[in-house]
């Protein structure tokens, strides 16, 4: 049920930002649903008449950009932004937010497959009108996920908490951000982007809306297990130095354990109980070698991130904008 804004209130100009990567199967259907939603909101005085939809093409290899370009050319309230090459979901989303940060009172980010329920967007807008600068979309549960995905996601959020990474449980990138928040977001210049971790750092008044996750109607997920694991590691290493501290702790424990083993070996030698054999030599060697490689790998991951940051290369390149 729509709740129009009273006459003494100014209608907010809202933009819906949807990153797209090889989404030709689902794009037109999703766009039609978003257009219908915006028309209803405009008709019922929920949002400003100039509110719009922005579709960001993240270097798609199919006909996604052609569909976006055609829609944006024939409809004043549909905008298109094309990146010169695939930059990744987070950077594509950021490019849309920053390019249109001063062209709307608030921008709502959502994946173009519309598995996030668009009908709670009205609740986001009313929360914004009530003073919230950020409104997070939170999944009520994960009943539609597979057992593996449900359990792995639960463990991931718990691990993030242990690593002191401040994120909201079951929140992805479905959120409303005011123009004030996006202008502050623009000051965060890191190359290794993890937006759901950056937003809680910004502050401002925020609120949450809850929704049920929907099934994907067409196409396939652009986040297979490999990308999900990579994204998870990105979130941990971009916001926490605890893995580095764990390396120090592991090193201390191994040193302490080795010291105890040395004392035991000396005791056995003087008591005449020393045993000949390769097990006591080879197993510790393999164990310590494995731990050293693990520690070097973790340290190398952080050095790699430093390398990417200090070069200060552009996070994305915009090829074309259709307004």
Which pLDDT score is estimated for 315?
A: 84
As given in the structure block, the two tokens for residue 16 are: 């819906």
Concatenate the DSSP letters of all residues of 76-89 into one string.
Answer: TTEEEEEESS---H
Q: What is the pLDDT of residue 278?
A: 47
Domain boundaries, the chain: 14-220+314-322, 242-311
Q: What is the pLDDT of residue 179?
A: 94
176's CB contacts (< 8 A; 6+ apart) are: 106, 107, 108, 121, 124, 125, 127, 128, 132, 134, 135
Contact 59, 81 (CB under 8 A): no
Residue 1 is encoded by which pair of tokens? Answer: 């049920």
Per-residue pLDDT at 246: 72
**Distance from C-alpha of 107 to C-alpha of 121, rounded to nearest angstrom:** 11
**CA 146 and chain centroid, separation:** 20
State both tokens at 321: 């904008």
pLDDT (0 to 100) of residue 263: 66
Tens place of pLDDT per residue across the chain (323 aa): 566 655 456 899 999 999 999 999 999 999 999 999 999 999 999 999 999 999 999 999 999 999 999 999 989 899 999 999 998 888 999 999 999 999 999 999 999 989 899 999 999 999 999 999 999 999 887 666 666 666 676 777 777 777 667 777 788 889 999 999 999 999 988 877 778 888 888 989 999 999 888 775 555 555 555 656 665 666 566 656 667 667 667 766 766 666 666 666 666 666 666 556 544 665 576 567 667 767 776 777 777 777 666 777 788 899 999 98
- Dihedral of CA atoms 74, 80, 86, 92 in degrees, nearest 10, equals -150
pTM score:
0.73
d(CA 71, CA 28): 9
Cα(13)–Cα(106) distance, integer angstroms: 7
CATH superfamily for 14-220+314-322 is: Spore Coat Polysaccharide Biosynthesis Protein SpsA; Chain A (3.90.550.10)
How far does the chain reach from its first CA to its final CA, in angstroms? 31
Q: Are strands 52-57 and 14-20 parallel, antiparallel or unpaired?
A: parallel
Q: What is the four-CA torsion angle of 203, 209, 210, 215, rounded to 10 degrees?
A: -100
Helix then strand then coil, in percent of the chain rounded to 5, is: 50, 15, 35
């Amino acid at each position: 049920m729509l709740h129009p804004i009273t006459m003494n209130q100014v209608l907010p100009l809202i933009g819906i930002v949807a990153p797209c990567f090889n989404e030709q199967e689902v794009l037109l259907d999703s766009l039609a649903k978003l257009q219908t939603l915006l028309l209803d909101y405009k008709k019922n005085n929920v949002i400003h008449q100039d509110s719009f939809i922005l579709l960001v093409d993240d270097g798609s290899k199919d006909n996604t950009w052609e569909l976006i370009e055609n829609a944006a050319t024939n409809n004043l309230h549909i905008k298109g932004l094309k990146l010169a090459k695939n930059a990744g979901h987070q950077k594509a989303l950021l490019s849309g937010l920053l390019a249109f940060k001063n062209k709307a009172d608030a921008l709502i980010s959502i994946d173009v497959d519309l598995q996030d329920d668009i009908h709670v967007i009205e609740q986001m807008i009313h929360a914004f009108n009530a003073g919230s600068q950020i409104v997070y979309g939170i999944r009520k549960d994960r009943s539609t996920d597979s057992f593996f995905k449900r359990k792995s996601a639960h463990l991931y959020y718990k691990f993030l908490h242990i690593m002191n990474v401040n994120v909201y449980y079951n929140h992805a990138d479905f959120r409303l951000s005011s123009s004030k928040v996006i202008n502050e977001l623009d000051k965060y210049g890191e190359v290794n982007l993890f937006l759901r971790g950056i937003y809680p750092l910004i502050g401002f008044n925020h609120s949450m809306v809850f929704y049920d996750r929907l099934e994907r109607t067409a196409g396939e997920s652009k986040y297979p297990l490999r990308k999900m694991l990579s994204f998870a590691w990105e979130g941990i290493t971009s916001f926490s130095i605890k893995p580095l501290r764990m390396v120090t702790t592991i090193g201390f424990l191994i040193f302490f354990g080795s010291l105890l083993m040395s004392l035991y070996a000396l005791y056995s030698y003087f008591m005449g109980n020393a045993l000949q054999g390769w097990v006591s030599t080879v197993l510790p060697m393999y164990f310590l070698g494995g731990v050293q490689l693990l520690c070097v790998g973790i340290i190398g991951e952080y050095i790699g991130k430093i390398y990417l940051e200090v070069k200060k290369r552009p996070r994305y390149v915009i090829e074309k904008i259709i307004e």
